[in-house]
Structure 1
Amino acid sequence: MDETSDQIPRITRFRSAIAAFIDERKEAKLKDAEGDAAQAAKYDYSTWLADAARRVTQIQAVTHVLKATHPDARGSSLHIPPESLPPHAEIGTHVLGDQYADDIVGNAAALDVYKFLKREVDGKRLLDWFLLNDADLLAALDNDEATALEWATAFKSLIRPAASLASHGLAKQVYWCLKGDPTDDTDFQLLQPLFASSLAHAVHQEIQSARFGEINKLARQARRKQEPHDGVYRDYRNLVMRKLGGTKPQNISQLNSDRGGTNYLLASLPPIWDQDRPRNFLKIESVLERFRHYPGVREQLHALCSLLESDSTSIKEIRGQRKQIEQEIIQSLAAFGLASRELFKPGWSRDPDCKLPLCEQLWLDPDRISLPPREEHLEEDQAFVAAFHWKDWPDQVAQRFGSWLNAILRERKLPVGDAEQKNWAKQAIIEAESPMPFKPSVIPADSEQEVTHG
């Protein structure tokens, strides 16, 4: 709050903030209905507040949301302030303390009332001032004390306990053994886990900051260039994105709508201990045989060969299954490229023992172009940089991938030829710019080549 605003009476500051919000709503709603006096009258100061106080009962502030479990569940959501929860060593809503975001459930048409209560005056939300029974705010609502008190009471009811707690057949429920004797049917408590929306929102904000925040971006660039950096680099790997609410995420909750329905799931995987040093790409003539041993690829290749060798007469069924396996192989190729780029320091392909074709060197050692050229190999290093920027190499790697995959299929006596090789190459994802895990391959359905089998 600056010095000028501090000189304005608090009642005036409250009234001005409320009037400004109502005017914004009026302008947004009536921009295409100018001259409609009846509609405009709804946005008179007292008229709008009276209507908002009536509609606030249609929404509820919560921290744990039922509909995130199933959108058609009809039961109770809860508002449990994190600081009121018992502390545990495990991560939970309790770790948020008093720094948490309330979520809102109920009629989406009444969410403008919540936006009103979120409007800040003197560093606090109007809702917070209502909960403190602020006398100046009540005076700003209406000159009639009884009317102002009635409206304030309604607005405070945004945070309210459920009249009665209710579950639903579509809610997730689990039986919990209390004393450890699973043979005693009387020793179980029926629990209903609820989606911890406030915690999920805090996790989402942290992950978004790590993925797209400017501070972490600088740390990521320093890590990639093997440069010192005064800071911490954060990375969340193997994330899964769960979409809640489909095209209408607001039907789940307000915070879910703010996230566009996106809810990240962290990888729940045991650690993989690999104490061997990563195998370099020296003294080999192609990295594609190494790709064959990349996690999951052997299984994908086996599945593709088995499908093409099958006796199924349903071409449509084979096409759908084959397309799915192809996409898995292509995504593994993109992931292999990304992982390989990060294994070794830039410039490893300068080693005399590097026998890879130039296109594969450019694919897996792209940061070599940022290194100063060597005087004794000036022409070679300049040619490497020129070839990288010419950008023929992604197509060349894709062609080599297509030929490599065809050779594997021929080992199984499958009748593949140029058409199939072009199909594999066309789908191959070879990043020519900044590394990414993968990007979707767009192939028009009417131009897709069919892999025959006999």
Structure 2
Amino acid sequence: MTELTDRGKAFRSAIAAFIEARREAKLKGKDDDAGVASKYDYGTWLADAAHRVGQIQAVTHVLKATHPDARGSSLHVAPNSLPQRPEIGTHVLGDDYAEDVVGNAAALDVFKFLKIEVDDRRLLDWMQAGDADLCSALHPDTTVATGWMDAFGKLVRSDPTPSSHEAAKQVYWLIGKEPSNDVDYHLLQPLLSSSLAHTVHADIQDARFGEANKLARQAFRTKEAHEAPYRDYRNLVARKLGGTKPQNISQLNSERGGINYLLASLPPPRWDQDRFRNLLTLDSALDRFAYFTGVRHQVKTLADFLLTNPDRNMQTRDRREAIEQALSLQLPVFAASIQAGSEPGWTRDPDCRLPLCEQLWLDPERTELPPREGHEQEDADFKAAYERGDWPDEVAGRFANWVNAQLREAGLTAVGDAEYKHWARQAIVDAAWPVPLQRRAPAGGEA
């Protein structure tokens, strides 16, 4: 018998610990059973495991996820060997992916054995590499040990002739020009990428139950600052594979409890501020303000209330003022969303057609930029107009005309100069100095 190296002893110690743990789990709560215990002798268990490993297969794509009665081929395809595409798929996993196992569920303990790590690599990897220290740790007879390593290493294998099954999902794809000709079709068989599903499942579970995201979620709900981002997956559907026996589908499916998450089939999210970021080619930013959060509802609420011709009393005045204030308060919020979502100086674009007062309102930081070569006078005039300070009143006047137009469109035809002055006084237009309480809107609003 060859003396084991220190590394060989490390292999043997890790293997012996695994087998002993299996023995203790099997005999837990039972009287000492010599017959059962003998099956967990070091050499006896390894010989049995080397025999049973042929009943399971390491894969990345699982056939039975389509239908539990399917009897065709599952596949093992390393993500790095797949075409690298911009879309999300198994290829994005690279070298960091979980291998799944299909086959006889009673032999899954062999896969757990092969996942034991020594020197940061699995026993399976060392066996496939033909490691000499591991070989000597398995059995003193080199022929026996080599046979076991060969058997274990074939956990990752491909069927010589991959086959489909009537219970599998299949798609006939026309590749020729004659739909009535059978030879003009390819038969495609979609397979679930269990490796990708496992990665997605782990990320979703961490987002839902992980401690770090739990703290971020609490900060989000209480509107407090937090150093880490908050992740949330909404409108999920959980597809249960395998029913009460998820291990019959695959090992990873069993680890997930049969749960495979389906993401909501939705277009990418569009945040509110993104809808108002580009105001180029518009004659007025108020065309976009009409679609800002809550504005259309507030305008409709006001119009519906005034169309009832309410009595002229304090209750009516309080109700009207509450709606008016909610509407006017959206002006600075709208402006802030434009300023936060746009680079200073965006109004310098030749396609910007907004009136000067609206440019000053929505792009105030342009005044801090250095003058452009060839546009020195234009930039100087912009800064001077901002400092002159009459533009907030002009914006208020344009807001007043806009509200009148909205009310007329809603059916309130009797709105004119009086209402124009009233809306102008309600407008809140932030500037670099305190906003006047009484707007000096230009006289003679649109009739």
2:107 equivalent to 1:91: no
Distance 1:246 1:56 in 2: 25
2:132 equivalent to 1:116: no
Distance 1:77 1:188 in 2: 22
Aligned runs of 1:94-243 on 2, under 5 Å?
94-178=91-175, 186-243=183-240
2:255 equivalent to 1:258: yes
Distance 1:9 1:280 in 2: 76
Distance 2:192 2:51 in 1: 28
Tell me, what secondary structure is at the counterpart of 1:263?
Answer: strand
Deviation of the 1:243 alpha carbon:
0.4
Match of 2:36 among 36, 39, 42: 39
Q: Which amino acid aligns with 1:98?
A: D
Tell me, what secondary structure is at the counterpart of 1:15?
Answer: helix
When the two chains are superposed, the root-mean-square deviation of aligned CA atoms in Å is: 2.6
- What TM-score comes out, normalization by structure 1 length? 0.58
Distance 2:263 2:185 in 1: 30
Q: Deviations over 1:270-301 (max 9, x none)?
A: 4687855248999xxxxxxxxxxxxxxxxxxx
Match of 2:293 among 274, 277, 280: 277
Distance 2:205 2:296 in 1: 33
Distance 1:204 1:38 in 2: 41
Deviation of the 1:124 alpha carbon:
1.3
Task: Rate the CA distance shift 1:258–1:269 in 2: closer, same or farther, 3 A.
Answer: same
Deviation of the 1:108 alpha carbon:
0.6
Give 1:66's aligned residue.
63
Q: Identical aligned pairs, as a percentage?
A: 65
Task: Rate the CA distance shift 1:242–1:180 in 2: closer, same or farther, 3 A.
Answer: farther
Q: Deviations over 1:175-206 (max 9, x none)?
A: 12336775765432110000110000001111
Distance 1:83 1:260 in 2: 28
Q: Which has the larger radius of gyration?
A: 2
Deviation of the 1:353 alpha carbon:
5.8
Aligned runs of 1:338-353 on 2, under 5 Å?
none
Deviation of the 1:38 alpha carbon:
1.6
Distance 2:62 2:177 in 1: 30
Distance 1:279 1:244 in 2: 46
Distance 1:213 1:94 in 2: 26
Tell me, what secondary structure is at the counterpart of 2:226?
Answer: coil
Long gaps (5+) in structure 1: 1-7, 283-351, 355-454
Distance 1:181 1:213 in 2: 54
Deviation of the 1:98 alpha carbon:
0.6
- What TM-score comes out, normalization by structure 2 length? 0.59
Give 2:17's aligned residue.
20
Deviation of the 1:209 alpha carbon:
1.2
Deviation of the 1:33 alpha carbon:
3.8
Deviation of the 1:253 alpha carbon:
0.3
Long gaps (5+) in structure 2: 273-290, 299-320, 324-447
Tell me, what secondary structure is at the counterpart of 1:115?
Answer: helix
Tell me, what secondary structure is at the counterpart of 2:166?
Answer: coil
Tell me, what secondary structure is at the counterpart of 2:50?
Answer: helix
Q: Which amino acid aligns with 1:125?
A: R
Q: Which amino acid aligns with 2:236?
A: L
Distance 2:28 2:296 in 1: 64
Distance 1:55 1:104 in 2: 13
Tell me, what secondary structure is at the counterpart of 2:21?
Answer: helix
Distance 2:196 2:14 in 1: 30
Distance 1:149 1:44 in 2: 19
Task: Rate the CA distance shift 1:234–1:35 in 2: closer, same or farther, 3 A.
Answer: closer
Deviates more, 1:42-51 or 1:172-181: 172-181
Q: Deviations over 1:58-106 (max 9, x none)?
A: 1110000000000011110000011111111111101101100000100
Q: Deviations over 1:118-172 (max 9, x none)?
A: 1111211111111111110000000000000000001001111113211100100
Distance 1:97 1:244 in 2: 26
Task: Rate the CA distance shift 1:139–1:179 in 2: closer, same or farther, 3 A.
Answer: same
Tell me, what secondary structure is at the counterpart of 1:264?
Answer: strand
Deviation of the 1:225 alpha carbon:
1.8
Q: Name the count of aligned residue pairs.
A: 281
Q: Deviations over 1:370-400 (max 9, x none)?
A: xxxxxxxxxxxxxxxxxxxxxxxxxxxxxxx
